[in-house]
Every structure is written in structure tokens, then in C-alpha cells.
Amino acid sequence: MQAAGGTSVDGSDSGPADPRRPALASRRAWVTFALVAAALYTADQVSKHVAVERLTGRDDVPVVGDLLQLHLTRNPGAAFSVGTGFTVALTCLAILATLVVLAISRRVVDRVWAVALGALMAGIAGNLTDRMLRGPEPFRGHVVDFLRLPNWPIFNVADISINIGVALVLIQVFRGAKMDGTRQDGPTQDDLDADPEVDE
């Protein structure tokens, strides 16, 4: 993606922008997206594997007294046990959401947006993996949940990732920060260059 004067937003000079081409992610932002997604996805899958191995057939395991406990359950629904009767539909929506996040990530420049999208990707893909690879069958697989808080549905690391991603997206929208690194309704770089009295 190009900023004013033919300089890309990540600092590299790659010539004037071609308006016919879609803006592409900066390399650093996309690497951030990929690393966040990979790290959280790995944490989710490893934690689920350990939970199944260690918690099957066991009673609740206290971690922080009654505040946080480990309790293994298998959830046919969405995050926090929503929509338990629509497993196949939720699986198809998760596949679509994964493709949408991947497509959007190709245009991200802002690194906070990159973290947000990476967290969303990890959470969606983490639970989607369960639906495709765990029993009873592909597209109907039950998601492994094992984290329990008082008066709260049992959840997993993928659910946490999704909520982190959504929270960051809402923060960025509230701040008016766009994925291309600019701010909505704020002065452009051309405005700042043309008017030295505009505060940066």
C-alpha cells in the first residue's frame, strides 16, 4: 500500500501507487497477524489435547479456588455453548468466517488491527478444527471446553481469542483507526504537508 509521495506506509519506497490495484498489507503487519494467529491457535489446540488427556473422567479441578476451575465438557454449539442444535450450520459459518478474515488480513497495515484479526483467526480456526476432526463426525464435531468461572458458561482458549479479537476491533472502530493505518475524519498526510500550522 502507498502513502503520499510514493512512499509505502511501512517505510519502503516502491514507486507510485496504482489505483487499479487493491491495497495490500504491510509485511510487518501481516507477519504480526500470522504470528498472533499461529501462537493462539497452537495454545488452543495444545490446551485442548492436555485437557482431554488429563481431565477425562475427573471431577472439577480447582486452579484459583472457586474462581477458576477445570471441568471438561464437549460443546456442539458455538462459543459459550450458544446454538447447540445448529452444529453443521455453525461449522459452515466458521469456514466462511475463516476465509473472510484471511481475505481482510491481506489489506491490513495497522498492527493493532493485525493483532485483532490474528486473534479472531486463531479462535475461529481453533473451534473449527474441533468441529472437523473430533467426534462424532466431520462438520458435527464437538468443541472441547474446559475453563469454568462462577456463573459463566464453560469455555476454552479459542473463545478467549475470539473475545480479545472482537474487543480490539471495537476499540479500533471507536478510535477511528482504519486497517490501512489512517484515522477516520483526521487530517491526511497531504493536509499536513500543505498546512504547516496543522498539529500532528
Give CA–CA dist 43/38, Å, rounded. Answer: 9
Q: Is 1 within a domain?
A: no
Render pLDDT for 111-154 as a digit per residue (tens, 0 to 9).
Answer: 999 999 999 999 999 999 999 999 889 998 999 999 999 988 89
- Residue that wins the pLDDT comparison between 20 and 181: 181
Q: Is residue 192 part of a domain?
A: no
Residue 112 lies in a domain: yes
Confidence of residue 13 (pLDDT cuts 50, 70, 90): very low
Question: What average pLDDT does range 17-24 have in this prediction?
Answer: 50
Among the options 66, 130, 159, 180, which is catalytic? 159
Tell me if 198 is assigned to some domain: no
**Of 44, 110, 130, 145, catalytic:** 145
Q: What are phi and psi of 136, to 5 degrees?
A: -85, -25
Report d(CA 194, CA 196) in Å as an integer.
6
In a domain, residue 200? The reply is no
pTM comes to 0.77
Residues ≥6 apart with Cβ < 8 Å to 45: 126, 129
Instruction: Answer yes or no: 66 catalytic.
Output: no
**The pLDDT of residue 7:** 41
Give yes or no: 110 in active site.
no
Crossing angle between the packed helical segments 111-133 and 87-105, to the nearest 10 degrees = 150
186 burial via Cβ count (<10 Å: 0-12, 13-18, 19+): exposed
Residue 166, CB-side half-sphere exposure with 13 Å CA sphere: 9
CA dihedral 51→53→57→59, nearest 10 degrees, is -40
Q: What is the pLDDT of residue 3?
A: 45
Instruction: Evaluate whether residue 35 is within a structural domain.
Output: yes
- On whether residue 44 sits in a domain, the answer given is yes
pLDDT of residue 87: 79
pLDDT at residue number 24: 64
DSSP 140-180: SPPEEEEEE-TTS--B-HHHHHHHHHHHHHHHHHHHTB-TT
165-190 pLDDT, tens digit each: 999 999 999 999 998 888 876 544 44
Q: Is residue 79 situated within a structural domain?
A: yes
Question: For 56-113, how does the pLDDT look when each residue is reduced to its tens digit (9 = 90+)?
Answer: 999 899 999 889 999 999 988 665 555 566 778 888 999 999 999 999 999 999 999 9
* Number of compact structural domains in the chain: 1
* Residue 71 belongs to domain spanning: 25-175
